[in-house]
Amino acid sequence: MAGIRALLWDVDGTLAETERDGHRVAFNLAFAARGLPWRWDEARYGALLSVTGGRERLIHDMSRRDDAPRSAGEREALARELHAAKNAIYAELLRERGIPLREGVLELMRECRERGVAMGIATTTSRANVDALLGAHFGGRWTDWFAAVVCGEDVARKKPDPEAYRRALRALGVEPGRAVAVEDSPAGVAAARAAGVPVIVTRSVYFAQSALEGAAAVGPGLGGLRGWQPSPAARSAAGDARVGLDDIAQWIGADTVPAPP
């Protein structure tokens, strides 16, 4: 197989632990600001993550509560309001206290830039949230790092639907088999696979135990090689300390990409 031409990044859970420490906290603050007694603890939020999309998650939760508005229209309106408030609070949280990138993320991004592998974002989170996270880490010109950015607003159907991946591939002009997705969730893996994109999984706190069918490799994080299945045989240009492009190429059966000049 020919070499990898593009790396497609999921955002929440993959770049940073934004679900537990960001979105969940912001949802709870939005409930409190609206005078609602609702609170999503870590376990409840983990169960709710099977519904992708913050607004969709709210509607799903309301459908199971007896203290939520009765009519579907009212629930929809409340979900919109709470979701907008949550996103504003999330951006504020990121500005004020920040959420670090997961280990190995920045290093792999730098390696992609050095070795001429294009990068794209394929997420179904809202654009404002991606902007808040990546703006905090890369500054106002963060989009310069990515040749394609596909967010929740750009798709009609969220993950596990493959639309986000298909759009990102189209924008990059790369065939599915020449790209690799980096994901953390079963829905993300399903989305990438349905688009024909090989995927590696960097497990996040909420999907630490999930079955991840169809992933080329699964591991505890990009910052180290220990715990990855299959265990990496190729020693990457980056050495043994972290997951590099050579490890990824080996997992997906691609030729290695050219080493940095």
- The whole-angstrom separation of Cα 65 and Cα 197 is 38
* Catalytic site includes residue 240: no
CA dihedral 66→68→73→74, nearest 10 degrees, is 140
Among 4, 9, 10, 104, binds Mg ion (CB under 5 A): 10
Among 28, 52, 236, 250, binds ligand XBP (CB under 6 A): 52
Q: How far is the CB of 3 from Mg ion (least distance, A)?
A: 26
Closer to Mg ion by CB, 185 or 236: give it. 185
Q: What are the two backbone dihedrals, phi and then psi, of residue 218, each rounded to the nearest 5 degrees?
A: -135, 135
Which amino acid appears at position 203 of this protein?
R
- The whole-angstrom separation of Cα 247 and Cα 228 is 10
Q: Is the dihedral of CA 105, 107, 108, 110 positive or negative?
A: positive
**Going by C-beta distance under 8 Å and a sequence separation of 6 or more, which residues neighbour residue 170?**
none
What x/- string results for residues 169 through 188 when contact with ligand XBP is judged by CB under 6 A? ----------------x--x
Q: How far is the CB of 248 from ligand XBP (least distance, A)?
A: 19
Residues in contact with ligand XBP, counted by CB under 6 A, come to a total of: 19
Closer to Mg ion by CB, 205 or 241: give it. 205
- The whole-angstrom separation of Cα 201 and Cα 167 is 21
Tell me 69's DSSP state: -
Q: Is 184 in the site for Mg ion (CB under 5 A)?
A: yes
**Other CB atoms within 10 A of residue 41 CB:** 9
What x/- string results for residues 2 through 41 when contact with ligand XBP is judged by CB under 6 A? --------xxxx-----x---x------------------
* Catalytic site includes residue 66: no
Query: Interacting stretch for Mg ion, rule CB under 5 A, among 12-20, 31-39, 48-56, 251-259?
Result: 12-20
Q: What residues line the site for ligand XBP (CB under 6 A)? A: 10-13, 19, 23, 52-54, 83, 123-126, 129, 152, 159, 185, 188
